[in-house]
Structure 1
């Protein structure tokens, strides 16, 4: 794992991140659509609407990513970040790459003066839950989360 480098993604990384993002979306039962996944990552980064961190191995291949969305908390009247996506290529899991991505995202949020980070994960994704809890994240027992899809089928 020591040969894994974490950095903010650059425009030259969009295609490689798009491949992983497509796999991430498939994990959440979305149809494979590499063009859509890549276009989404490109749009978010070009418009500075999100921050994408990438994990590169010794061969300089991108093997994981996480995506943060900056936002605010009205209650704390402060900046927060939502960590919406974290994914590591299935061929290199269990090597601490996800944890390195998580730590880089947390450090970035601290440097930006954020007071909190939020995330959601599937109830069935126990490996992700174990990672988050081992890194000090606390499951919310105070608030319920609701969603309302505004388009057909939520996509």
Structure 2
């Protein structure tokens, strides 16, 4: 059984290598010092929730948001990462479940996430966990 708990600033040394590896997975350059500063700021300002799997197996980072249409809080599951050598062992599913539990407990009415089009392993995990691909809306972005 995988144990998931909410991380605190005391866990920053445990989270930084996972976060840095997550960023590298998406082709970002390794930057442990930048990762530490970014994560520290998010936690100090209470701008995100980081869920940490036992044995530093993986993490999820959630950002609170709001839906104007629902007039209610929502949550963005922005980051989900499991160490490559232990993938397919239930850690990702446990992190997804813990993220949904946290979102519900915080009053969120919906959670959303994005992943790379070619990340088929993640697609399969999300579908198994009950997530549905949005067929109604397209996502656009622009650098500002």
Q: For this structure pair, what is the TM-score category when the shorter chain's length is used for normalisation? A: over 0.9
Instruction: Give the superposition deviation at 1:132.
Output: 0.6
Looking at structure 2, the residues matched to 31 and 108 of structure 1 have their Cα atoms a distance apart, in angstroms, of 31
Looking at structure 2, the residues matched to 91 and 40 of structure 1 have their Cα atoms a distance apart, in angstroms, of 26
Q: Is 1:143 the equivalent of 2:137? A: yes
Looking at structure 1, the residues matched to 26 and 127 of structure 2 have their Cα atoms a distance apart, in angstroms, of 21
Residue 91 of structure 2 is aligned with which of 91, 97, 113? 97
Residue 26 of structure 2 is aligned with which of 20, 25, 28? 28
RMSD, matched Cα? 0.8
TM-score of the pair, normalised by structure 1:
0.90
Q: Which moved more, 1:81-90 or 1:30-39?
A: 30-39
| Count of residues in Structure 1 that have an aligned counterpart in Structure 2 | 144
Is contact 1:19-1:38 (8 Å) kept?
no
Q: Deviations over 1:103-134 (max 9, x none)?
A: 00101111112110000000010111111111
Looking at structure 2, the residues matched to 80 and 119 of structure 1 have their Cα atoms a distance apart, in angstroms, of 11
Instruction: Give the superposition deviation at 1:12.
Output: 1.3
Residue number in structure 2 paired with 1:43: 41
TM-score of the pair, normalised by structure 2:
0.97
Looking at structure 1, the residues matched to 105 and 16 of structure 2 have their Cα atoms a distance apart, in angstroms, of 27
Instruction: Give the superposition deviation at 1:9.
Output: 0.2
Residue number in structure 1 paired with 2:5: 7
Residue number in structure 1 paired with 2:128: 134
Q: What 5-or-longer segments of structure 1 have no aligned partner?
A: 151-155
Looking at structure 2, the residues matched to 70 and 112 of structure 1 have their Cα atoms a distance apart, in angstroms, of 9
Residue number in structure 2 paired with 1:153: none
Q: Is 1:109 the equivalent of 2:103? A: yes
Q: Is 1:75 the equivalent of 2:69? A: yes
